[in-house]
Amino acid sequence: MGNKGWPVLGETIEFIASGFTSQPVSFMEKRRSMYGKVFKTHILGRAIIVSTDSEVNKIVLQNQGNTFIPAYPKSITELLGQNSILQINGPLHKRVHALIGGFLRTPIFKATITQVIHHSVQLNLASWSNIQLLYVQDQARKITFEVLMKVLMSLDPGEDLNSLKEDFEEFIKGLICLPIKLPTTRLYKSLKAKERLLKIVGRIVEERKATMEIRNNNNNNKERGVGNDVVDVLLQESYDSDESRRLPLDFITGNIIEMMIPGEETVPMAMTLAVKYLSDNPVVLDHLREENMELKKKKMIDNLGNCTWTDYMECLPFTQNVISETLRLANIINGVWRKATKDVDIKGYFIPKNWCVLASFISVHMNEENYEKPYEFNPWRWERTGNTVNSNMFTPFGGGQRLCPGLDLSRLELAIFLHQLVTKYRWIAEKDEIVHFPTVKMKRKLPISVTSISMT
């Protein structure tokens, strides 16, 4: 059931218009009330089946039997490499996903990255007291890009990082655009930026390979290092004893760039929206500050040094609830697109071969059947329900085969940012609005003015 709307345009105009309102889910809600939880529509150039049903979404994400493959708009597939983790399927996808996820879960990575994030946030926040009006969205992007470059390539702030940031910003402008490749078009400029990115990252990967070879020769290839970053982890796979399993250098270079896409926009937007929601909800902010001040004082009195991964992830329960509530309400990734490779029946809904399915997370997160008063920013709701990733009702990081490997890293970055922000500063936010299309952003980048808090 559903409506295909106008020829060619389908229901795209209404879909985009809803993205500019304070209730972007209204497009989905209207159709759900008319046609049921799973319905057909025609948006962004293709006919799709939209699922607003958490159980159907779960089955699509789990993808048992490999029925579904990722399906992105044409401009995105043009810009992603054929071998991108975001596009590949089957055993190779499984292997690369496990390698990255496994690395991000190692205790050594967790310990090191906690200190890296701590210092990056500390350094950036230290400059805030000299700025009269600062833009949270820009500041957050600066912090998270530095962290991402460390995670992927152990890159320190400097010339390479600045060039990468500039070219990457140019590159992602083309992710949602008209798929026309002519010298003046957006897509063309983005492809050119990608060529520059490939050059810089390719050089870094080759230099690293040379260093790794020297190290391997010195220890007669006996030891396999743990790996300091994602480049290391993937490079180690270029030495597999089975030649057919070796990952080529251009595969590694391309994937490092592609991994910047899900990592770059999402965390800074979550940080920015957390500040927005806290500015609008002073009672929550007071509670958050109290919890974080308590931990900070305890660390100081007991002379325990900086907070650890466990402190942030396990000893600040209210802070983690603020993060969950931010992720639920912000819907930074509002859903995922898949294409059925064969006819499939889910809970009585028939999805024909080659049809696209949009598993809509925002529809689940903003449904009052699932969340009481869903438009309220209420971190206390998580005290009752917990925030396990297995819940079908809470999927900001997706689920199943492609569950975001950056899940804990994102929560950690958010926790460190919030901890330092609320224990160091009070702020007043200027009026601003959230825009939801093509991606979630603040209209004015969220301007705030800050004053320091002195610890006594």
- Binding positions for ligand HEM, rule: CB under 6 A: 70, 85-86, 97, 151, 259, 262-263, 266-267, 270, 332-333, 336, 396-398, 402, 404-406, 409-410
Cβ 80 to ligand HEM, closest distance in Å? 11
> Looking at beta carbons only, is 423 or 439 nearer to ligand HEM?
439
> Looking at beta carbons only, is 38 or 61 nearer to ligand HEM?
61
- Buried b / exposed e along 401-429 (16+ C-beta atoms within 10 A): ebebbbbbbbbbbbbbbbbbbbbbbebeb
> Looking at beta carbons only, is 416 or 450 nearer to ligand HEM?
416
Q: What are the Cα distances from residue 333, in Å, to 291, 297, 359?
A: 29, 36, 11
The DSSP H or E segment spanning 245 is none
> Residue 380 in contact with residue 321, Cβ under 8 Å?
yes
> Looking at beta carbons only, is 53 or 450 nearer to ligand HEM?
53
The CA-CA-CA angle for residues 126, 269, 122, to 5°, reads 15
The CA-CA-CA angle for residues 423, 428, 433, to 5°, reads 115
- Taking residue 2's Cβ as centre, other Cβ atoms within 10 Å add up to 18
Instruction: Check whether 404 is labelled as a binding-site residue.
Output: yes
Cβ 218 to ligand HEM, closest distance in Å? 31
Cβ 405 to ligand HEM, closest distance in Å? 5
The DSSP H or E segment spanning 51 is strand 46-51
Order of strands across the sheet that contains 425-429: 134-135, 447-452, 425-429
- Taking residue 218's Cβ as centre, other Cβ atoms within 10 Å add up to 9
> Looking at beta carbons only, is 174 or 263 nearer to ligand HEM?
263
Q: What is the DSSP string of 392-425?
A: TT--TT--GGG--TTHHHHHHHHHHHHHHHHHHE
> Residue 117 in contact with residue 311, Cβ under 8 Å?
no
Cβ 362 to ligand HEM, closest distance in Å? 11
**Tokens representing 104?**
């991000």
**Tokens representing 1?**
């059931």
Cβ 170 to ligand HEM, closest distance in Å? 20
Residue number with the smallest Cβ distance to ligand HEM: 406
The DSSP H or E segment spanning 80 is none
> Residue 173 in contact with residue 189, Cβ under 8 Å?
yes
The CA-CA-CA angle for residues 50, 55, 56, to 5°, reads 35
> Looking at beta carbons only, is 9 or 92 nearer to ligand HEM?
92
Cβ 195 to ligand HEM, closest distance in Å? 22
> Looking at beta carbons only, is 142 or 189 nearer to ligand HEM?
142
> Looking at beta carbons only, is 339 or 450 nearer to ligand HEM?
339
> Residue 312 in contact with residue 114, Cβ under 8 Å?
yes
Cβ 389 to ligand HEM, closest distance in Å? 11
Cβ 132 to ligand HEM, closest distance in Å? 29
**Residues of each annotated binding site:** 404
Binding site for heme, by residue number, is: 404
